[in-house]
Structure 1
Amino acid sequence: MITRIPGSIASRSKGVVHNGIVTTVTTSPDKSDDMYVQVKGALASIDKNLAEAGSSKAKILTAICYCADMSAKPALNKAWDEWVDASNPPMRAVLGVALEGKDLIEIICTATV
């Protein structure tokens, strides 16, 4: 059975759960020009999405961060290091990409439930 967690747009889910695995995606609700602020907002959304799916950051297997400005990666790393469950660090990749609008970060996580 596949459980889809509705997103803010009807044609997209903010999370999908199947076979004990949850995948979720988010951007920051805060669209400031500050990478640190946007990453903190996105990670807070990841926490909410995972909780809604019956999981938590301690159960994240992989995370892919899509970063609009790789020169701001130190700010991304700072926010990540403050947030991550240091006892259960996931595999993480950061890719430089062009993002829509004022988004500086988009994060996809896969976790167990």
Structure 2
Amino acid sequence: MLPITRFTGMTPTRSRAVVHGNLIFTVAVADTAELDMRKQAAETLAKIERHLKDAGTDKSRLLSCTVYIADMALKPQMNEMWDQWVDMDNPPQRACIGATLEHPHMIEIVAVAATKD
């Protein structure tokens, strides 16, 4: 049986990342309350990168990302930050979905990556 490793999150009921076998699952939102998509997207992507590092991998090993956006009219700004951040040699599959998010969050990202093992 494969072990499950959980990385403690900000609350006792949530993990920053979970590793099972050679897969890493993580979710992030921005900490900033600023209503600026570029800033929230950059911060959220940076958190995903930190979570992956904590779990022993990096963004080159991303398999998929699901991006939830509170206002799809702001998707171009999110795309701008994504294009600056993503590993262009190893781009993951990505989906963007319009969603009702808890204020002040404008973006939430769910990512799945492979470990380096």
Q: Secondary structure at the match of 1:66?
A: strand
**Map of 2:85 onto structure 1:** 83
Alignment of 1:1-113 (within 5 A): 1-113=3-115
Q: Distance in 2 between matches of 1:38 and 1:31?
A: 8
Q: Distance in 1 between matches of 2:45 and 2:113?
A: 14
One-letter amino acid matched to 1:23: F
Q: Distance in 2 between matches of 1:74 and 1:7?
A: 30
Q: Distance in 2 between matches of 1:3 and 1:31?
A: 30
One-letter amino acid matched to 2:114: T
Aligned length: 113
Q: CA deviation at 1:101?
A: 1.8
Q: Secondary structure at the match of 1:30?
A: coil
Post-superposition, which runs of at least 4 consecutive aligned residues in structure 1 deviate over 4 A? none
Q: Distance in 1 between matches of 2:105 and 2:93?
A: 23
Identity %: 41
TM-score normalised to structure 1 length: 0.98
Q: Distance in 1 between matches of 2:83 and 2:39?
A: 14
Unaligned runs of 5+ in 2: none
RMSD: 0.5
Q: CA deviation at 1:30?
A: 1.6
TM-score normalised to structure 2 length: 0.95
